[in-house]
Amino acid sequence: MMDPLEDGSNREVEAVVDLLRKRAPLLELLADGARDQRDLRDELGVSRSTVYKSLQQLRDAGLVAERDGVYALTGFGRLAWQRHDDYLARLRRLDAGRRLLETLPADQQFPPTLFERGRITVPGRHAPERPLDRLSELGGKADHLRVLSPSGMPRFLASIHENVEAGKQTAQIVVESDAIPRLRSGYDRFDTAVGAEGFELRVISNELPYALVLFDEADVGLFGYEEGVLVGAAFSDDPDALSWGERIFQRTVERSKKI
């Protein structure tokens, strides 16, 4: 049985993909509503012949239909444009998180939805704390935090402990064993925090290649580091990303020990 995407059919699909890319400005206008040629010329600032030729190509491909001089996307055209637009949006998010992706272990599998549908947050020139600001925002709303972190995120330890003592939050944190001295010296109530009900600190002898935070069962955050410096984070409420995060967290907990 012949594959429906072989030979001629495959060439037709490639032609549609090429048109979606080349005629994106025109298709974007038609996605907002039907237009006549004059409207399209005025909006795009191009010649009559250019608009005419573009519309003919889109009609021949079944993406656009004309009625009484007014042009509109067909059902196929609207769906194809939506999928194309979604693809570009995902690609832009991946590009924004390129440096973050390069910090992650090549031998581990990460859910594509974490990056394609998630929110990529990277430090900006005038907003270097942007990923941590997002972490603080989500963390302040969560009833339960589950954290894997090479350093233990020392800047948040005091606030997490405060929330636990106030009965606003519970937390389970796994850190590298080498991080404990820094946490102890940087927080004068470290021993009190470790003994607090609802606050569980665990250590693992292995290196943690990234930080992972689960905010209740609603959001997951993945943080990438380059030579100890935070380069970005991805946040997502996608079910696949959450399920992945929970599996990674549980496997790490099983290899750790409680302080």
Q: What is the pLDDT of residues 65-84, one digit of tens each?
A: 999 999 999 999 999 988 88
Coil, strand, or helix at residue 74? coil
Same domain, 128 and 64: no
Residue 183 tokens read as 């946490």
The whole-model pTM stands at 0.70
Residue 131 has pLDDT above 60, yes or no: yes
Domain that includes residue 12, residue range: 7-87
What span, in angstroms and rounded, lies between the C-alpha atoms of 166 and 160? 10
In a domain, 100, yes or no: no
Q: Residue 41 sits in a domain of what CATH number? A: 1.10.10.10
Q: Residue 252 sits in a domain of what CATH number? A: 3.30.870.10
pLDDT of residue 2: 47
Mean pLDDT of the chain: 90
Same domain, 141 and 22: no
Same domain, 237 and 120: yes
In a domain, 134, yes or no: yes
State the total domains in the chain: 2
- Residues 199 and 107: beta-carbon distance below 8 Å: no
Same domain, 246 and 195: yes
pLDDT of residue 122: 83
Same domain, 26 and 148: no
In a domain, 222, yes or no: yes
Q: How far is CA 30 from CA 66, 71, 73, 79, in A?
A: 12, 8, 6, 12
In a domain, 36, yes or no: yes
In a domain, 250, yes or no: yes
Residue ending a domain, choose from 53, 87, 121: 87
Same domain, 38 and 117: no
Tell me how many degrees the CA angle 233-235-239 measures, rounded to the nearest 5.
140
- pLDDT (average), residues 207-212: 95
Same domain, 128 and 245: yes
